[in-house]
Amino acid sequence: MFELNEKIAVITGSGSGIGKATALLFAKQGAQVHVIDLNEEACNETVKEIQQTGGKAVKHVSDVSNQQQVKEVFNKIGRIDILVNSAGISHIGNAENTTESDFDRIYNVNIKGVYNCLHAAVSIMKKNRSGVILNLSSIANIVGLQDRFAYSMSKGAVYAMTLSVAKDYLNDDIRCNCVSPARVHTPFVDNFIKKNYPGKEEEMFEKLSKSQPIGRMAKPEEIASLILFLCSDEASFITGCDYPIDGGSTKLNS
């Protein structure tokens, strides 16, 4: 089950975090993985890890917020069976202290970046009359998160785009879903704690972990496993759905 043999998968933001975990898992399951990231060093590392275990991977250093770059990369790839939109950035702030430049930065990557990839991939998938798209949203599209104004806005848009694409391309056999994680232990979390709570890293990590009902943060590999299922043939009847993967955060928090 969940084999991706002969599948061509494009994964944005796959230089680190959830995107990297997904790329490694997809390659393990037999897919040829196209690793897309803005960070060339991170891109190289992901490709190297995949190839060391006998997997197939190709690197593409690209900025998802640049439509021309995205089109060039996707046209070069040619056939796309699976697209995972994992590239994204975060921001801390509310409606008052979020600057216009902060807002634009989040929009350009988290919304326009997803749009650019959808815009390029859907036309390719339509030619083959098949395809699977998985977008990374967040529980921020379901519940209110403190000091995550711009980030929440962007993830709400990702959810809406997911529904729209799923509806518009039903007759082209293109499925589109999204997953909404709670807090995941990625390099971003470690860097955030180090920057904002110097000297209190362990204390804050524990506090943030315990804020989720299950008592810990998710591992990127756990999110990748759900993504694998939704992109596999075993999920062929699933489209237009959002899957919270949140350790109980949206339903069990009092």
> Which amino acid does the sequence have at 172?
D
What whole-number distance in Å separates Cα of residue 203 and Cα of residue 194?
11
118 contacts: CB under 8 Å, gap ≥ 6: 83, 85, 133, 161, 165
Residue with tokens 């975060």, as numbered in its chain: 90
Q: Which of 107, 115, 151, 159 is catalytic?
A: 151
| CA nearest to 233, candidates 182, 185, 157, 175 | 175
Beta bridge partners of 185: none
Q: Which amino acid is at 35?
A: V
User: Helix, strand, coil proportions of the chain in percent (round to 5)?
Assistant: 50, 15, 35
The dihedral of CA 8, 9, 14, 17: what is its sign? negative
For residue 197, indicate whether it is catalytic: no
* Residue 78: count of CB within 10 angstroms of its CB: 8
- Per-residue buried b or exposed e for 100-113, using 16+ beta carbons within 10 Å of the residue's own CB: eebbeebbbbbbbb
What residues are annotated to the active site? 151
